[in-house]
Structure 1
């Protein structure tokens, strides 16, 4: 069984602690998914720039890109975050997509996404999660029961700018949904059903739906047992299927909203003793948003 966690900060004074808090939440869930882990952090964006989070193989000189594209590069192990002026983004994407030794993990103005094989603590340490800051973050630790243990198959999945999703459960109609989305121009990198859910929501958002509206539509279009935690540039959403057999608990205070596959993921958060604790109801969309 996979473990998922999410933290949405209402109090900007906590933003420098976001990564450390998320690391603690994710590390607690180690037993739920020891094969691989990943997380997405919504930090500060640079006006007029696009961030590419990429995974690079030995031989690709990511540090050569700044001189060619007026970019900045921050290395995180075998991942790197490349910030490039928006006017050069398509040009950079074309170069990266031609390279067999580079994988584009995510794009966006604020989101950075990292994932890899290993325990949550090891993956978080590898990428420096505890030092990251921002407004919200989601994370996942994976038990690969139906597929190979690979970095590509690890969560979160991102199929749109500043959009990502983690998932505990399984979809029964993901192949039909995938085929329909491919006809609509949605591209997939893996056979993972979670990527289909991410692609579905991204497609709805591109059509003009808000996150809460897209999640409501998912109740009709996605079959299976699932709990979704979703991030966008300004929003954070949670949805359980109508049966809601997968465990979930949430906490809300004046400072934050937090989600965990079990309470112990929340137990170390500041002020948790005074938080409103609740189990999200089946088939109900929970959604929070704030200005970018």
Structure 2
């Protein structure tokens, strides 16, 4: 049974504590999904620069060496290594070359995310251990999403853990199960959407990417998913500036939200929210079925 936590910070004074609070929220969900965990952090970024967060598909991959080779191959970039992942910051115009070089020369390296602000860290293991290995508690930012996973639709692997990203600065986590993910995966791949795993959640992320490429806003794409995705689900989505939540029309998966002047928070259980400042006076509610909730920074 998966567990989700999400935190969207409205008061900039709280931004240095994003990682700390998200790690604490996720810790309450360890028993729901002890197989693997992942964190999406929206931190600082620079115009004209794109962060490629990369990881090896196996433990044998030397990710620091891979990042160094990539930077040398494209003629520049910055590298920051965290545990089994590396963030390679390159000129945005160099991203296609970087992706092509990795695919040709280092096929065992996966791009977990790309974006001006998004970094995704995920790994097999107990969620508290994963958070500690990546030092999530010391990260700052405006919003973040995390996930603990009990494997259902695919193997327990680093690539199979959530969050999934199929578009720039966009990611998704999911609690539930989709019944039509196999046919939709084939359809998305034919249309050029990159789907790397057998996980149904990556299909949901790819679906939103396709809908937005076809002209829909994220809110419109989420609404369309209510008709096009079969199964039961709670989605939490991150974009460069925003944070969204959607439950299926039956809403059989538990979800609770809280809002204060400082933040908006999501958790699979109320106890997920109890570590947050001001939670005793927060507005706390259960998100309605088939209703899109979205918050965005100006």
- TM-score w.r.t. structure 1 length? 0.96
Paired position in structure 1 for 2:11 = 11
Paired position in structure 2 for 1:58 = 62
1:85-96 matched pairs, under 5 angstroms: 85-96=91-102
CA displacement, residues 179-227 of structure 1 (integer Å, 9 cap, x when unaligned): 2222221121011110100000111122232221111111111111100
Paired position in structure 2 for 1:160 = 167
Cα distance in 2 for residues equivalent to 1:256 and 1:9: 4
- Structure 2, unaligned stretches of length 5 or more? none
Q: Does 1:143 align with 2:147?
A: no
Paired position in structure 1 for 2:245 = 238
Q: Measured at CA, do residues 238 and 146 of structure 1 come closer, stay the same or move farther in structure 2, by a change above 3 Å?
A: same
By how many angstroms is 1:65 displaced?
4.2
Paired position in structure 2 for 1:118 = 125
CA displacement, residues 257-281 of structure 1 (integer Å, 9 cap, x when unaligned): 0000000000010010110000000
Pairing partner for 1:256 from 263, 267, 290: 263
Paired position in structure 2 for 1:176 = 183
Paired position in structure 2 for 1:47 = 47
CA displacement, residues 145-178 of structure 1 (integer Å, 9 cap, x when unaligned): 3432111111011111111100000011112222
C-alpha contact (below 8 Å) 1:167/1:226 kept by paired residues: yes
Q: Measured at CA, do residues 145 and 88 of structure 1 come closer, stay the same or move farther in structure 2, by a change above 3 Å?
A: closer
Paired position in structure 2 for 1:80 = 86
- Structure 1, unaligned stretches of length 5 or more? none
Pairing partner for 2:274 from 264, 267, 274: 267
By how many angstroms is 1:67 displaced?
4.8
CA displacement, residues 239-274 of structure 1 (integer Å, 9 cap, x when unaligned): 000000000000011111000000000001001011
Q: Does 1:186 align with 2:193?
A: yes
C-alpha contact (below 8 Å) 2:254/2:268 kept by paired residues: yes
C-alpha contact (below 8 Å) 1:211/1:235 kept by paired residues: no
Cα distance in 2 for residues equivalent to 1:12 and 1:76: 25
Cα distance in 2 for residues equivalent to 1:25 and 1:6: 8
Paired position in structure 1 for 2:103 = 97
C-alpha contact (below 8 Å) 2:70/2:101 kept by paired residues: no
Cα distance in 2 for residues equivalent to 1:145 and 1:195: 13
Cα distance in 1 for residues equivalent to 2:18 and 2:51: 19
